[in-house]
Amino acid sequence: MPEAALDFSGEAPAAQAARIADLNARYEHHGATAVLERALKDPQAGRLTLVSSFGAESVVLLHLLSMIDRSTPVLFIDTMLLFPETLAYQQELAERLNLRDVRVIRADDIALARQDPDGTLHQFDTDACCDLRKTVPLQRALAGFDGWITGRKRFQGSTRATLEFFETDGPTRIKVNPLAHWAPEDVRAYMDENRLPRHPLVARGYPSIGCAPCTSPVAAGEDPRAGRWRGQDKNECGIHIVDGKVVRRSDPMTDPVSEPTPLAANAPEPVPEPVIVTDTGFASDDWAAKAVLDLGSDTDPAAVDLGSAPGLIRIEFPSFSDGRGFSIARQLRLRGYQGRLRAKGHVIADQYTMARRSGFDEVEISADLATRQPEAQWRFRANWQVHDYQSRLRQG
Amino acid sequence: MYQYNDFDRAFLASRNDQFRDQVQRRIDGSLTEDEFRPLRLMNGLYLQLHAYMLRVAIPYGTLNSAKMRQLGMIAERWDRGYGHFTTRQNIQYNWPKLSEVPDILDALAEVGMHAIQTSGNTIRNVTADHFAGAAADEIADPRPVAELIRQWSTDHPEFQFLPRKFKIGVTGSPNDRAVVKSHDIGLRMIRNDAGEPGFEVLVGGGLGRTPMIAKVVRAFLPRADLLPYLEAIVGVYNLLGRRDNKYKARVKITVHENGIDKIRAMVEEEFLKRKPLFSGVDQEVLGDIEAQFAPPAFKSAPIDAFDAAYAADPVFRDWCDTNLAEHKAPGYAIASISLKKHGATPGDASAEQMRVMADLAEQFGHDELRISHEQNVVLPHIHKSDLPAVHAALKSADLATANIGLISDIIACPGMDYCSLATARAIPVAQEIAERFKALKLEHDIGPLKLKISGCINACGHHHVGHIGILGLDRAGVENYQITLGGNHTEDAVIGERMGPGFAYDEVTDAIERIIRTYLAERSSPAETFLDTYRRIGTAPFKAALYDKETVDA
C-alpha cells in the first residue's frame, strides 16, 4: 500500500498550526526574495530543502535560491520516466546556477521491481505510478528536513487559489511557497529579465512538464496544466498534499488522450555510411587507395613510417574538440607526405576549413553526422582558400 | 594605428556570417550544445551566471575615438549602458541577448573590431604594454608585432582546438607593464650585442591555480623568425599538452612536467621544419603595419598654462602627480584615467564616460586611447598645455580619480557577483578597501602599491603578482580570504607568499589596514615603497600584525 506513506494522521497539532500562523503573519508583507532569504535562516522554519521538478517554470525559484545560498539542498525527483530534455536541462541549470547540493531522488530498486517490473504501471494506474516513483521517494528524502520550498503559485488552479507563504505538511513539517502570489506575467518577466534558460520543451508546446508518458502538448487557449495526465481525472501527482491529505483536483478533461509529439521531427533521408566530404560535397568512399594507414590522435607524426608510402593516411578525430589531428596533418605534410590525407571521425562542418588548411584532402564522417549536418552545411565552408590570414603571411 | 584593409574587413564579414549561421544551426539542431559551445566561445560569447556575456577584443589595448564611441553605443543600445574593461585589454558586456549578438558583432566590424578568440581553447587576444608608442623608456613599439601576431593567430587552422587557452603578451620596454612573464608566451623586444632587433622568448607562465613564472626558451630570436618560432611552440604544445585533465592542460604544466630543456629541444627542431613555410612575406606585412604605427605629429607649444594650473589648483596637481607618466616627446605626458573611483566597480565605464574619453582623445590626444591590464583607460599623447582642459572634462564626467598605482587602484575580478566560477565576492572587497583608505587619507602617503583580488583560484584578478594579493575562497560555504604579500608582475616577476590562515569577509579590510600600518611603521623613509620594505624586512612583522593579537593591540 504505497498510499500509507502519505497518510499523516489527521489535523496538524495546535503547536504546528500556531507556528504556521505565526510565520504567515510575520512574512505577510514580504516579497518572494525576502521570504526565501529569511526563511532559510529562520529558526522557526528550520532546516529547509527546495524540491524542484526542473520543469517549465522551475528556473525562477532555483535562480532565486542560487542568488541567496547555492549550498541549500535541492531535491530533484527522477522518476526514470522523464523526458531526456528534462534530464539535460537539470544538468544545465545546476551547472549554470552553480547549485552545490542537488540530490537526485529515485524510487528504490526493490519497490520498482515489485510494483512496476516492466515499467507499464503508468498505463493502467497513474496514481500508483506517481506514488511509487515520486511521492514515496520524496517523503523518504524529506525525512531529514523541517520543511521544503516549493514553486507553487495561486494562479495555478483552484486548489492553490488560497495558497499562503507557509503551510503545514503533516504534523511537524512545513512547506514554504515564496512564489505564492506571483502571476504568470511575473514569472515570464523574471525569466526574461534574468535571461534564464527555458526548458526546451516549453517552445514545443509543453507549458507544464511531468513524466514523458503522461505529458502531452497543450493547444493555444488550453489550461497550461491540461497536458498533464490528459484525459484523466487527475491534476496533481500527490506530492502536494493539503493539510496532511492528498487532494486531487478534479477538473473535467474532455480532450482525448494524445501521444507526446515525436521529438525528432522531419528526419532527412538516411545517408549511406561512411560519407567522404570534399570541396565538391558528399560522396561515398571510392576505395581507390590500395593501402590505408590509420593513425590515432596521439600519434607522434615524426615517428610515422612514410617510407611504405601508403595510398591513404587517415587521422582519427575521437572528438571534434581534440585538435591534435590538425597539427599531425601539418607535420606529415612538412615531412613531405604528398599522398591522400583524410580526417576521420567527429569533425564538424565548421572545422572543414581548418582541416583543408592544415593539409587534409578530405573528411570522413558517419552517416549520423552527415544527417545532422547535411551537405549544404559543409559546402558553405568549402571556400577555404579565401579569407585566410595564413596564406597572406606565407605566400609571395 | 592599424587600419583594417579590405582583406580584414572581408574576413570579419565572412566570420560574422558564419556565426550568424552557427546560431541558426544550433537552434535547428544541426549543432549540438557541445559542438556549439566552442564555436560561440571562439567568438567571445560566454554563458555566465545571469546571462550571456560578450567579450570584445581590444587588440594590444589600442583604440581610437571612433572605436571607443562605438563601444559606448553598443553599451547603450544592447546592454545596460555600461561595459567592463578587463585585465586582458578586453571589454565585456554582461547583458547581451543571444539573438542580438550577431548584430553587435556587425556593429563592431563597422569600426574594425571583433570578439574573435577572446575565449575558447585558442590563441587569445594579444596584449601589449599600454604605454606602447608613448613611454619614454621604450626600446621599440610592440604593437606592430602584436598586430602581426593577431593576424597570424586569427583563425589559425591548426590552433583552434588547443588543449587549453593560450595567451601571448609583448613588451617593448625593459620595464615590463604587460605582465609578460605570466603569459603562455611572453615576448620581450630586445637587441643583441650586434644591435639587431629581436626577442627574448619566454614560455609557460601563468597564474590560475598553479601560478608559474615563464621560463626563457630562446634568449635571442631574430625578429624575422618570430612567426615560425611561435608556430613551433604552439605546434609542440598542441600535440604534447595534456587533454586528460583541464587543470593540467595549460602550457605552463607541459613545461613544468617535461622540463624547459626538453621543450626547447622540441621547439627548436620544429622551428627548423616550419621556417621554410615563411618566405619573408610576413616581414613585408610587418613593414606595412609598422608604417601605420608611425608616431603622430607631436606639436610643440608652451606649457605655461600647465605650470600655472599645476601651481594654483591642488586637485589638478594631485591628479598630475598620480596619474601622469613620462612621455618620450618633449612637452607631452601620458595621462591615465582611473576606472577605480572609490566605491565603484573596478573597470566599469558608462556609455557616457566612453563618449567623453573618445572626445578627449579626438580633441587633445591624437585620436588615441589605450586600455591597460590594470583596467584603466590611457590617453597616451596629451600635450601638457591641454592637461588642464582634459582634467576639467574628466572631472565633470566623474573620471578624475587621482589614484593610479595607489592602493585603491585595485585589480579585481568580477567575483561571485557575476562569474559562475567564483567562490567569493571580489568587487565589494575592493570597494570597501578603497573606501577605507580614502577615509584614512593615507593613500598618497602609502605610495605605489599593487593590490589585486581574485574571487577564486583561477586568479583572474592576478592576486599572485600583487604586492598585496587577496584570494577569495569558499570554505565550507563561508567566504574566506587568503592574503599573499610580495608578489610582483613586472620584469622581475615573483609569486607572492601566502601569509597564513585566511580571513572572513568582514575581517579583510582590517587585515589589510594592519599590513599597511606595519609598512608605514617599518619603512626606512617615505621613499621606500611597500614592496622594497617587504623585501628588506621579510614576512615576520607582517605575520605578527596579521595574527598576533598583542602586537595589534599594542
**B229 within some domain:** yes
Interface size A-B, in CB pairs within 8 Å, comes to 129
- Cell numbers at A251, concatenated: 477538473
The distance of A219 to chain B (nearest Cα, Å) reads 22
Do A23 and A105 fall into the same domain? yes
* Residue of A59, A196, A365, A394 best to disrupt the B interface, most CBs of B under 10 A: A394
Query: According to DSSP H, which parts of A42-183 are helical?
Result: 58-68, 84-96, 109-115, 121-124, 126-130, 136-141
Residue A238 is predicted with a pLDDT of 57
Do B474 and B435 fall into the same domain? yes
**Cβ–Cβ gap A98/B30 under 8 Å:** no
Q: Which residue of A has its CA nearest to B39?
A: A350
pLDDT by residue for chain B (554 residues), tens only, comes to: 899 999 999 999 999 999 999 988 888 888 888 898 899 999 999 876 667 889 999 999 999 999 999 999 999 999 999 999 988 889 999 888 888 899 999 999 999 999 999 999 999 999 999 999 999 999 999 999 999 999 999 999 999 999 999 999 999 999 999 999 999 999 999 999 999 999 999 999 998 888 999 999 999 999 999 999 999 999 999 999 999 888 899 999 999 999 999 999 999 999 999 999 998 999 999 999 999 999 999 999 999 999 999 999 999 999 999 999 999 999 999 999 999 998 888 899 999 999 999 999 999 999 999 999 999 999 999 999 999 999 999 999 999 999 999 999 999 988 887 777 888 999 999 999 999 999 999 999 999 999 999 999 889 899 999 999 999 998 888 899 999 999 999 888 899 999 999 999 999 999 999 999 999 999 999 999 999 999 999 999 999 999 975 444 43
Q: Which residue of B has its CA nearest to A100?
A: B477
What is the spatial distance between Cα B302 and Cα B298, in angstroms, rounded to a whole number? 13
> With an 8 Å Cβ cutoff, is B238 touching chain A?
yes
Do A69 and A159 fall into the same domain? yes
Given A129, A211, A214, A237, the catalytic residue: A237
Do B420 and B521 fall into the same domain? yes
**Cβ–Cβ gap B161/A372 under 8 Å:** no
- Cell numbers at A287, concatenated: 576505395
CB B161 within 8 A of CB B117: no
**Cβ–Cβ gap B49/A96 under 8 Å:** yes
Q: Assign B74 to helix, strand or coil.
A: helix
- Cell numbers at A55, concatenated: 520543469
Do A224 and A310 fall into the same domain? no
**A114 within some domain:** yes
**B487 within some domain:** yes
Residues of B in contact with A69 (CB under 8 A): 477
Residue A2 is predicted with a pLDDT of 38
**A351 within some domain:** yes
> With an 8 Å Cβ cutoff, is B473 touching chain A?
no
- Cell numbers at A188, concatenated: 515570464
* Residue of B239, B274, B285, B425 best to disrupt the A interface, most CBs of A under 10 A: B239
Do B422 and B516 fall into the same domain? yes
**A72 within some domain:** yes
Do B283 and B311 fall into the same domain? no
Do B287 and B317 fall into the same domain? no
Do A96 and A205 fall into the same domain? yes
Query: In total, how many domains does chain A have?
Result: 2
Domain end call among A228, A246, A264: A246
Residue B73 or A18, more confident: B73
Q: Does residue A44 surpass a pLDDT of 90?
A: no
Do B265 and B342 fall into the same domain? no
Interface of A with B in 46-75 (CB under 8 A): 66, 69, 71
**Cβ–Cβ gap B278/A393 under 8 Å:** yes
Domain end call among B396, B424, B440: B396
Do B417 and B545 fall into the same domain? yes
Do B511 and B453 fall into the same domain? yes
Closest by Cα among B225, B217, B199, B222 to B267: B217
Residues of B in contact with A335 (CB under 8 A): 273
Indicate left, alpha or beta for B256 from its phi (over 0: left) and psi (-120 to 50: alpha): alpha
Whole domain around residue A291: which residue ranges? 275-394
Task: Give Cα B304 distance to the centre of its chain.
Answer: 35
What is the spatial distance between Cα B501 and Cα B469, in angstroms, rounded to a whole number? 14
Residues of B in contact with A266 (CB under 8 A): none
Do B476 and B538 fall into the same domain? yes
Do B422 and B542 fall into the same domain? yes
Interface of B with A in 31-50 (CB under 8 A): 31, 33, 35, 38-39, 47, 49-50
Do B336 and B435 fall into the same domain? no
**B445 within some domain:** yes
What value of ipTM does the predicted structure carry?
A: 0.89
Domain end call among A195, A226, A246: A246
Do A6 and A155 fall into the same domain? yes
Query: In total, how many domains does chain B have?
Result: 4
Residue A229 is predicted with a pLDDT of 73
> With an 8 Å Cβ cutoff, is A266 touching chain B?
no
**Cβ–Cβ gap A380/B21 under 8 Å:** yes
Rounded mean pLDDT, A244-262: 33
Residue B380 is predicted with a pLDDT of 97
- In angstroms, the Cα distances linking A250 to A157, A230, A233, A244 are 10, 12, 6, 18
> With an 8 Å Cβ cutoff, is B7 touching chain A?
yes
Q: Which residue of B has its CA nearest to A67?
A: B417
Interface of A with B in 188-207 (CB under 8 A): 194-195
**Cβ–Cβ gap A393/B51 under 8 Å:** no
Q: Does residue A188 surpass a pLDDT of 90?
A: no
Do A282 and A238 fall into the same domain? no
**B120 within some domain:** no
**A31 within some domain:** yes
Residue B483 is predicted with a pLDDT of 96
Residue A240 is predicted with a pLDDT of 62
H-run or E-run covering B38: helix B33-41
CATH number, residue B532: 3.30.413.10
Do A202 and A289 fall into the same domain? no
**B191 within some domain:** yes
**B117 within some domain:** no
**A76 within some domain:** yes
**Cβ–Cβ gap A396/B285 under 8 Å:** no
What is the spatial distance between Cα B164 and Cα B45, in angstroms, rounded to a whole number? 17
What is the spatial distance between Cα B456 and Cα B162, in angstroms, rounded to a whole number? 24
Q: Which residues contact B140 (CB under 8 A, 6 or more apart)?
A: B172, B189, B197
* Residue of A327, A363, A371 best to disrupt the B interface, most CBs of B under 10 A: A327
**A258 within some domain:** no
Q: Which residue of A has its CA nearest to B121?
A: A321
Query: What secondary structure does DSSP assign to B439-496, as a single string?
Result: HHT-HHHH-S--EEEESSTT-TT-GGGSSEEEEEEEETTEEEEEEEES-B-STT-BPP
Residue A248 is predicted with a pLDDT of 34
Residue A253 is predicted with a pLDDT of 32
Q: Which residues contact A221 (CB under 8 A, 6 or more apart)?
A: none
Tell me which residue in B148, B162, B273 faces A323 most closely, judged by beta carbons. Answer: B162
Residues of A in contact with B18 (CB under 8 A): 350, 380-381
> How many C-beta neighbours within 10 Å does residue B5 have?
12
CATH number, residue B385: 3.90.480.20
> With an 8 Å Cβ cutoff, is B282 touching chain A?
yes
Domain end call among A229, A246, A263: A246
**A12 within some domain:** yes
Residues of A in contact with B35 (CB under 8 A): 320, 348, 350
**A219 within some domain:** yes
pLDDT band at A237 (very low <50, low <70, confident <90, very high): low
Do B12 and B88 fall into the same domain? yes
Do A131 and A221 fall into the same domain? yes
Residue B537 is predicted with a pLDDT of 96
CB B228 within 8 A of CB B275: yes
Residue A241 or A202, more confident: A202
**Cβ–Cβ gap A324/B238 under 8 Å:** yes
> With an 8 Å Cβ cutoff, is A392 touching chain B?
yes
Residues of B in contact with A336 (CB under 8 A): none
Do A291 and A233 fall into the same domain? no
Rounded mean pLDDT, A218-244: 65
Residue A3 is predicted with a pLDDT of 37
Tell me which residue in A92, A195, A377 faces B51 most closely, judged by beta carbons. Answer: A195
Domain end call among B396, B427, B443: B396
Residue B552 is predicted with a pLDDT of 43
Whole domain around residue B82: which residue ranges? 6-110
> With an 8 Å Cβ cutoff, is A181 touching chain B?
no
Residues of B in contact with A393 (CB under 8 A): 148, 151-152, 227, 278, 281-282, 285
Closest by Cα among B223, B225, B176, B227 to B197: B223
Tell me which residue in A95, A327, A389 faces B155 most closely, judged by beta carbons. Answer: A389
The distance of A298 to chain B (nearest Cα, Å) reads 7
**B13 within some domain:** yes
Q: Does residue A256 surpass a pLDDT of 50?
A: no
What is the spatial distance between Cα A100 and Cα A71, in angstroms, rounded to a whole number? 5
Catalytic residue flag (residue A214): no
Residues of A in contact with B279 (CB under 8 A): 394-396
Do A209 and A290 fall into the same domain? no
**Cβ–Cβ gap B279/A301 under 8 Å:** no
CATH number, residue A218: 3.40.50.620
CATH number, residue A384: 3.20.20.70
What is the spatial distance between Cα A359 and Cα B440, in angstroms, rounded to a whole number? 64
Q: Does the predicted model carry a pTM greater than 0.90?
A: no
Interface of B with A in 191-230 (CB under 8 A): 227
Domain end call among B265, B292, B319: B292
Q: Provide the residue count of chain A.
A: 396
**B287 within some domain:** yes
Residues of A in contact with B10 (CB under 8 A): 386-387
